[in-house]
Amino acid sequence: MEKINLDLILANLRASLEHNQVDAAIHLLESLRVPDRADLFSELDEKDQATLLPNLKPASSADILEELEDQEAAKLVRSLPTATAIRIVTEMEPDEAADLLGSIQPLQAETILAGLDDPDEVRPLLLHPEDTAGGLMTSEFLALRRRMTTTEALKAIHEWKPEIETIYYLFVVDRYEKLCGVVNLRQLIVSEPSTLMLDIMDPDVISVQAGTDQEEVARIMSRYDLVTLPVVNTNNVLLGVITIDDVIEVIEDEATEDIQRLGGAEPLELPYLDTSSLGVVRKRIGWLLLLFLTESLTGTVLRYFEDELQAVVALSFFIPLLIGTGGNAGSQTTSTLIRALAVGDIDLGDALRALWHELRVGLMLGFGMGIVAYGRALLWGTDAHLAITIALAIFTIVVWANGLGAVLPLFAARMKIDPTVVSGPVMSTLVDATGLFIYFTIARAIIGL
Amino acid sequence: MEKINLDLILANLRASLEHNQVDAAIHLLESLRVPDRADLFSELDEKDQATLLPNLKPASSADILEELEDQEAAKLVRSLPTATAIRIVTEMEPDEAADLLGSIQPLQAETILAGLDDPDEVRPLLLHPEDTAGGLMTSEFLALRRRMTTTEALKAIHEWKPEIETIYYLFVVDRYEKLCGVVNLRQLIVSEPSTLMLDIMDPDVISVQAGTDQEEVARIMSRYDLVTLPVVNTNNVLLGVITIDDVIEVIEDEATEDIQRLGGAEPLELPYLDTSSLGVVRKRIGWLLLLFLTESLTGTVLRYFEDELQAVVALSFFIPLLIGTGGNAGSQTTSTLIRALAVGDIDLGDALRALWHELRVGLMLGFGMGIVAYGRALLWGTDAHLAITIALAIFTIVVWANGLGAVLPLFAARMKIDPTVVSGPVMSTLVDATGLFIYFTIARAIIGL
């Protein structure tokens, strides 16, 4: 229902723009909820976007730039006059502003930064890589003092910038700005007016260092059900606060990356339909070529067994079936282990347990598949020796693929490589060449070629 | 660092239990944070768990049961005396209690339910399927009235059960219990004491119906950065509230399911190492067999071209390479589209655009790969006709795989089937048989067999 409305509004918006009714278009956009506004805006072509952005309220433009992908936002800002850009960036959340400024020309970024009312809110954030706790945090937070009373704390909240929504948990610092506790807004309300923060704060506060990877941040916030997470430096000085909405994006983006890598492609940086065909090709061709060259090992193996193939042409009928099943068994294992690693169900300390688990699974699956393959081969009228070869080969290949499928992601994790890169396609390709070798070696032994 | 501590504590815990020092073990467990406590608890064997659970504080036991997977929790509760079970379930959040009661014997569930102080808080939640908004929501929420003043609202919060953390957004209902607005705790604090809810509430409140799928719930909360989402019935009567922590679990679980399906296996219900080998086999054997039987089509295709294979044995050297590349190109496409569908970057209305996008990508990739394949074949000393065959075949197969890789997930989504089931392995298997047919047809035409 909501979707249909948006499509309708988009049509109206486009009609207004076509007839140069910029005011009507702006009115329409301003009436929408922020994410919807950003969505429709990004559906417009660049010319219309460039027309609208300087005419919207700076706060609305800021909302839109915050919602857009960094690259899209950067492209728009590059086309804006500096004064307009400054007016808009001033309205952005410091962490979003820092991400944006990090994506444009350093010179333009410096000019905009210099024009901000409070550049020191944004500048320190530029120092942190975007995918760390420091890159996720906002520097706009309200820190309470240990010896503040409830009344003073509530007064500080009154006076604090009203648009900030994330003050349900307030962090308490000592005189050296070191983090020493957390109170929630609810405690402030229900406590006596003269209560000190010291007495109601929970000193057991979970925090992360600025350099912590964003995946680790997501894992901690999700595990401990945190809405906000304070970021500190090595001296435990409070630098900023990460809020849950930024982390949900991280969780979704990381899953997207994992899934695209599992499919054997580098993750796209923009939404799918916003990426040009050439852009998609660029993300895929590298892996496709690498896999092709690895896969061409299968040709080498087959040439090595040329005599056998010449003598018993029926051997070739089972090639795709055997290596396909090996690849499938391996992919099942790899994807399970990759996810178990990602969500923390297993860690490197469990490597041997996981391998042993998969080998047992492989033995059972291989046994079952071997029997089915034997039956299938006989049904095709294959001679008994060849049928036994197929059954033994599939058993061995499945066990081998399960073992390899368990070892590869664990090995990658050990080497600090993202385990998803060794998944799906890489897995199948490796199993293909080795599986053929297993198949023909068994064939040679049994059929006695 | 945190992990090492937990391992150490686990060792201590086990040592205490071995020496029958149940009190020491309980003290150790009670000193931990809730998720850590649940984690260590689930590492213990069942006998120890059954010993500890009735001896922990009911609130601690409740925390543990909430954190465990439903099936594990249900197993434990089944072994408890009814009185203990009632004491523990009383302390659980209503939504978690409902999930648990839904997983045990209806008779035991009814007995426990009858023993609760306030069974009506839990009973309505049992009506909703677990994967809908109704199954995620809690019925423990505080609704404000439109004509309440700020003072009255704050008083209601004072009197409201103190352990509930999720009262940062409070929902306002009219006299028929219909949802009519939202205020946040911050607004209550900063407003004048006599302000009416009516005047400060935001009437434009986003809500979902009880039957809404949990994926849709996650999408809405993530899109609009919501910390809580109210659930209503068809008459807009407020039934409950979903909090962000439940939804983060949903986002992670859905990604896990997608990734396991992408790997060609049914999702596991328990964490990886808690699933028995036989349990893992059960989740995988079905797909592995189905794919095997489909893949055996490749054998049929190859038999059909037996004469060609007999005449030019070198044709078989390229079989794994060609179908492997086709499978890889198809997997790249499928995984990209599946994720784009899942995060809402594309919907069914974009089907033709997506297909066209992939065909262009396929043409470019196919062209590039064709040239590389030609070179690779010549390097192997393959004769020119066969090399041309390989190049043309790989071009055609890549374009075909990209098209099929785009159509399949879109078609699945159209048929209301989870698109992940047609991914990775299914994709490769389909491309294998059709790819061989393409290869040999081209070979027949060019080499003139």
Taking CB atoms and an 8 Å limit, are A292 and B251 in contact across chains?
no
Taking CB atoms and an 8 Å limit, are B432 and A310 in contact across chains?
no
A269 shares contact with chain B (CB less than 8 Å): no
For B40, list phi and psi in degrees, rounded to 5. -65, -40
B84 shares contact with chain A (CB less than 8 Å): no
Select the residue of A292, A318, A321 nearest B372 (Cβ to Cβ): A292
- Shortest alpha-carbon distance between residue A329 and chain B (Å): 7
User: A–B: how many Cβ contacts below 8 A?
Assistant: 346
Q: Are strands A228-232 and A208-209 parallel, antiparallel or unpaired?
A: parallel
Which residues contact residue A134 at a Cβ distance below 8 angstroms, ignoring those fewer than 6 apart?
A: A125, A127, A128, A210, A211, A231, A239, A240
Residues A176, A439: Cα–Cα separation, whole Å: 69
Taking CB atoms and an 8 Å limit, are B319 and A320 in contact across chains?
yes
Burial letters B420-436, b for 16+ CB under 10 A, else e: bbbbbbbbbbbbbbbbb
Q: Which two tokens stand for residue A170?
A: 């307030």
Phi-psi region of A196 (alpha: psi -120 to 50; beta: other; left: phi over 0): beta
Q: Please give the domain boundaries of chain A with CATH numbers for all domains.
A: 2-127 (1.25.60.10), 143-249 (3.10.580.10), 296-447 (1.10.357.20)
Residue B301: Cβ within 10 Å count: 19
Q: Residue A21: its pLDDT value, please?
A: 87
Q: Which residues of A touch B185 (CB under 8 A)?
A: 168, 185-186, 189
Q: Residue A167: its pLDDT value, please?
A: 64
Which one of A314-323, B89-98, B152-161, B362-371 scores highest in mean pLDDT?
A: B362-371
A248 neighbors B222 (Cβ within 8 angstroms):
yes
pLDDT band of B168, cuts 50, 70, 90: confident
Q: Residue B102: its pLDDT value, please?
A: 85
- How many angstroms separate the Cα of A357 from the Cα of each of A145, A399, A410? 52, 12, 13
Q: Residue B1: its pLDDT value, please?
A: 33
Q: Residue B351: its pLDDT value, please?
A: 87
Q: Residue A449: its pLDDT value, please?
A: 59
Q: What is the C-alpha R_g of chain A?
A: 29
The helix (H) or strand (E) run that includes residue A127 is none
Closest to B151 (Cα-Cα) out of B117, B194, B104, B201: B194
For B117, list phi and psi in degrees, rounded to 5. -65, -40
Q: Residue A236: its pLDDT value, please?
A: 93
Q: Residue A132 has what DSSP assignment?
A: B
Average pLDDT over residues B284-308: 85
A370 neighbors B292 (Cβ within 8 angstroms):
no
B244 neighbors A226 (Cβ within 8 angstroms):
no
CA dihedral over B56, B61, B63, B67, signed as positive or negative: positive
A341 shares contact with chain B (CB less than 8 Å): no
Residues A414, B112: Cα–Cα separation, whole Å: 47
Average pLDDT over residues B149-157: 84
Residues A421, B212: Cα–Cα separation, whole Å: 35
Residue A420: Cβ within 10 Å count: 27
Q: Residue A15: its pLDDT value, please?
A: 87
ipTM associated with this complex: 0.73
B201 neighbors B142 (Cβ within 8 angstroms):
no
A436 shares contact with chain B (CB less than 8 Å): yes
**In chain A, which residues have pLDDT < 70?**
1-4, 161-167, 423-424, 449
Taking CB atoms and an 8 Å limit, are B281 and A372 in contact across chains?
no
Taking CB atoms and an 8 Å limit, are A262 and B262 in contact across chains?
yes
Residue B274: Cβ within 10 Å count: 16
Select the residue of A185, A295, A380 nearest B185 (Cβ to Cβ): A185
Closest to A3 (Cα-Cα) out of B244, B19, B219, B279: B219
Residues A330, A367: Cα–Cα separation, whole Å: 15
Residues A42, A221: Cα–Cα separation, whole Å: 30
- Shortest alpha-carbon distance between residue A223 and chain B (Å): 7
pLDDT band of B449, cuts 50, 70, 90: low
- The mean predicted confidence, pLDDT, of chain B is 85
- Shortest alpha-carbon distance between residue B339 and chain A (Å): 6
Q: Residue B389: its pLDDT value, please?
A: 93
- Shortest alpha-carbon distance between residue A325 and chain B (Å): 6
Q: Residue A33: its pLDDT value, please?
A: 83
Select the residue of B277, B343, B361 nearest A281 (Cβ to Cβ): B361
Q: Which residues of A touch B425 (CB under 8 A)?
A: 327-328, 331-332
First to last CA, chain B: 67
Q: Residue A2: its pLDDT value, please?
A: 44
A125 neighbors A94 (Cβ within 8 angstroms):
yes
Q: Of residues A220 and B342, which shows the higher confidence score?
A: A220
Average pLDDT over residues B146-157: 85
pLDDT of B2 higher than 50: no
- Shortest alpha-carbon distance between residue A376 and chain B (Å): 9
Whole-prediction pTM: 0.74
DSSP 3-state assignment of A160?
Answer: coil
Edge-to-edge strand order for the sheet containing A228-232? A208-209, A228-232, A238-243
Q: Which two tokens stand for residue A124?
A: 């320190």
pLDDT band of B363, cuts 50, 70, 90: very high
* Residue A398 CA from chain centroid, whole number: 31
Q: What is the pLDDT of residues B208-217, one digit of tens each?
A: 999 999 988 9
Find where tokens 């809730």 sit.
B34
Residues B268, B242: Cα–Cα separation, whole Å: 25
Taking CB atoms and an 8 Å limit, are B281 and A361 in contact across chains?
yes
Closest to B97 (Cα-Cα) out of B81, B79, B117: B117
Q: What is the pLDDT of residues B376-434, one digit of tens each?
A: 889 888 888 899 999 999 999 999 999 999 999 898 888 888 787 776 677 778 888 89
Average pLDDT over residues B52-66: 87
Q: Residue B424: its pLDDT value, please?
A: 66
Which residues contact residue B397 at a Cβ distance below 8 angstroms, ignoring those fewer than 6 apart?
A: B322, B323, B325, B326, B329, B366, B431, B435, B438, B439
